[in-house]
Amino acid sequence: MTPVRGLRHPRIRRYGAAMSARSNRRSRIVGSTAGAIVALVAMLFGATAPATAAQPDPIQRYVALGDSYAAGQGAGIPLDACLRSDAAYPVLLDAVPRINLLRQPACSGATISDVASTQLSQVNRGTTLVTLTVGGNDLGAGEVFAVCAPDPESFACATAVAEAQQLLASGVIGQELGGLLLAIAERAPNARIVVTDYPIPFVAGWSTLTDTVNAATAALDAQIAAAATGAAGAGANVHYTSLTLAYLGHQVGDVDPWLGSDQFDALTFLHPTTTGQGVYRDAILVAIG
Q: Which residues are catalytic?
A: 68, 271
**38 phi, psi to nearest 5 deg:** -60, -45
Q: Among 142, 133, 140, which residue's Cα sits nearest to residue 70?
A: 133
- Tell me, rounded to whole angstroms, the distance of Cα 198 from its chain centroid: 16
- The SS3 of residue 259 is strand
Q: Report the alpha-carbon distance of residue 107 to residue 119 in Å, rounded.
A: 9
Q: Report the alpha-carbon distance of residue 249 to residue 234 in Å, rounded.
A: 36
Q: Report the alpha-carbon distance of residue 251 to residue 205 in Å, rounded.
A: 12
Instruction: Judge contact between 130 and 193, C-beta under 8 A.
Output: yes
Q: What is the largest CA-CA distance in the chain?
A: 139
Count CB-CB contacts under 10 A for residue 25.
10
Instruction: Judge contact between 102 and 127, C-beta under 8 A.
Output: yes
